[in-house]
Amino acid sequence: MTDEITTDDQPAIDARQFRNVLGQFCTGITVITTFDGDGAPIGFACQSFAALSLDPPLVLFCPTKASKSWAAIEANGKFCVNILAEEQQPVCARFGSREPDKFAGVPWRTSDLELPLLDDALATIECTVDQVIDGGDHYIVIGRVQALSESTDSGRPLLFYRGQYTAIEPEKTVPAPWRADLEHFLTNTTLDTWL
């Protein structure tokens, strides 16, 4: 078996180098949850989550095609993104494991939209599945946001970098200059006024 990634008319890419290079990109960690057809909570740890659109409000995540959790989400048609706090490393480890009941010992509740929400998450984003796109050995799942909540605590996110957990130091953070432009966009009612 080769460690190179290749497709027709494309250069061969070493799989280990691919992972190492992409490991330079620090990501937040989420747990994507839903209920299966029997009403049992299902979920998995997910780094491949991103905001996609403000208007309409869309997010995306990328499950592997063989994911049993994705099969349950696809059948249910809705999911919740739980953004983990720095203290939730054990939660991340549990949902990243092959344990049959990943919710055992993890405090959670059912939302008004009938989705599992993890207690102590920094934020939750409840969505319906809007679109599914082929993405190689993964799917790109686009979710339409139906409800949002955020923690009242000033917690910090759980981050992953170079194959391990990492943290931010609040005293070293600097406001991004584009935030003012984003706020301007959010206060306008149409995209036309922004352009």
Count of structural domains, the chain? 1
Residue of 71, 80, 81 whose CA lies nearest to 37: 71
What per-residue confidence (pLDDT) applies to 180? 58
77, two tokens: 């048609």
- Domain containing 76: what range? 4-169
Residue 7 φ then ψ, to 5°: -135, 165
Tell me if 9 is assigned to some domain: yes
What per-residue confidence (pLDDT) applies to 8? 66
What per-residue confidence (pLDDT) applies to 74? 97
Going across the sheet that includes 138-150, the strands are 41-46, 30-35, 78-83, 123-135, 138-150, 58-61, 49-53
Tell me if 182 is assigned to some domain: no
CATH number for the domain spanning 84: value is 2.30.110.10
Instruction: Give the position of tokens 């301007």.
Output: 184
Tell me which residues of the chain have a pLDDT lower than 50.
1, 189-195
Which segments within the chain are labelled E, that is strand? 4-5, 13-14, 27-28, 30-35, 41-46, 49-53, 58-61, 78-83, 108-110, 116-118, 123-135, 138-150, 159-161, 164-166
Q: How far apart are the first and last CA of the chain?
A: 51
Instruction: Give the position of tokens 């960690």.
Output: 29
pLDDT digits (tens, 9 = 90+) for 36-49: 999 999 999 999 99
Torsion sign (Cα): 67, 69, 75, 80: negative
- Global pTM value: 0.82
What per-residue confidence (pLDDT) applies to 30? 97
Tell me if 181 is assigned to some domain: no
Tell me if 141 is assigned to some domain: yes
pLDDT digits (tens, 9 = 90+) for 2-49: 565 555 678 898 888 988 887 777 889 999 999 999 999 999 999 999
Tell me if 175 is assigned to some domain: no
Tell me if 113 is assigned to some domain: yes
Tell me if 185 is assigned to some domain: no
Beta bridge partners of 47: none
- Express as a percent the part of the chain with pLDDT over 70: 83
What per-residue confidence (pLDDT) applies to 38? 96
Tell me if 177 is assigned to some domain: no
